[in-house]
Amino acid sequence: MLDLLITNATLADGRTHMSVAIRAGTIVEVAAGLCAPAVQTIDAQGYLLTPPFVDAHFHMDATLSYGQPRVNQSGTLLEGIALWGELKPALTQEAILARALRYCDWAVAKGLLAIRSHVDVCDPRLLAVEALLEVKRRVAPYLDLQLVAFPQDGVLRGAQGPQQHLDTLRRALDLGVDVVGGIPHFERSMADGALSVKLLCELAAERGLRVDMHCDESDDPLSRHVETLAFETQRLGLQGRVTGSHLTSMHSMDNYYVSKLIPLMAEAQLHVVANPLINITLQGRHDSYPKRRGMTRVPELLSAGINVAFGHDCALDPWYSLGSADMLEVAHMGLHVGQMCSPAGMHDCFDAVTHRAAAVLGLEGYGLRPGCHADFVLLQARDPIEAIRLRANRLQVFRRGHCIAHTAPAQTALHLSGRPDRTDFCL
Ligand code: FE2
Q: Are residues 102 and 251 in the same domain?
A: yes
Instruction: For residues 178 and 239, give the distance between their C-alpha atoms in angstroms, rounded to a whole number.
Output: 17
Cβ partners under 8 Å of residue 299, min gap 6: 338, 339, 340, 345, 348
Q: Are residues 284 and 401 in the same domain?
A: no
Cα(234) to ligand 1 centroid in Å equals 24
Q: Is residue 420 situated within a structural domain?
A: no
The domain of 405 spans: 2-51+367-413
Q: Are residues 309 and 355 in the same domain?
A: yes
Residue 38 β-bridge partners: 2
* Per-residue 3-state assignment (H helix, E strand, C coil) for 318-347: CCECCCCCCHHHHHHHHHHHCCCCCHHHHH
Is 217 a catalytic site residue?
yes
Q: Are residues 26 and 120 in the same domain?
A: no
Cβ partners under 8 Å of residue 103, min gap 6: 60, 63, 64, 315, 325
Give me the sign of the Cα torsion angle 100, 102, 103, 107.
positive
Q: Is residue 27 situated within a structural domain?
A: yes
Q: Domain count for the chain, please give it.
A: 2
Cα(199) to ligand 1 centroid in Å equals 20
Instruction: For residues 118 and 65, give the distance between their C-alpha atoms in angstroms, rounded to a whole number.
Output: 16
Q: Are residues 259 and 373 in the same domain?
A: no
Q: Are residues 259 and 149 in the same domain?
A: yes
Per-residue CA distances from 393 to 341, 396, 420 (Å):
22, 9, 21
Instruction: For residues 27 and 396, give the distance between their C-alpha atoms in angstroms, rounded to a whole number.
Output: 17
Q: Is 426 helix (H, G, I), strand (E, B) or coil?
A: coil
Cα(231) to ligand 1 centroid in Å equals 22
Burial class (CB in 10 A: 0-12, 13-18, 19+), 188: exposed
What pTM did the predictor assign?
Answer: 0.97
| 79, 86, 202, 217: the active-site residue | 217
Cα(77) to ligand 1 centroid in Å equals 10
Q: Are residues 371 and 242 in the same domain?
A: no
User: What CATH number is associated with residue 395?
Assistant: 2.30.40.10
Cα(407) to ligand 1 centroid in Å equals 30
User: What CATH number is associated with residue 218?
Assistant: 3.20.20.140
Q: Are residues 247 and 197 in the same domain?
A: yes
Q: Are residues 148 and 246 in the same domain?
A: yes
Instruction: For residues 76 and 81, give the distance between their C-alpha atoms in angstroms, rounded to a whole number.
Output: 9
pLDDT in tens, the chain (427 residues): 999 999 999 999 999 999 999 999 999 999 998 989 999 999 999 999 999 999 999 999 999 999 998 999 998 988 998 999 999 888 999 999 999 999 999 999 999 999 999 999 999 999 999 999 999 999 999 999 999 999 999 999 988 999 999 999 999 999 999 999 999 999 999 999 999 999 999 999 999 999 999 999 999 999 999 999 999 999 999 999 999 999 999 999 999 999 999 999 999 999 999 999 999 999 999 999 999 999 999 999 999 999 999 999 999 999 999 999 999 999 999 999 999 999 999 999 999 999 999 999 999 999 999 999 999 999 999 999 999 999 999 999 999 999 999 999 999 999 999 999 999 998 8
Among 361, 380, 402, the domain-final residue is 361
Give me the sign of the Cα torsion angle 158, 130, 243, 198.
positive
The answer to whether residues 59 and 24 touch, using CB atoms and an 8 Å cutoff, is no
Q: Are residues 324 and 395 in the same domain?
A: no
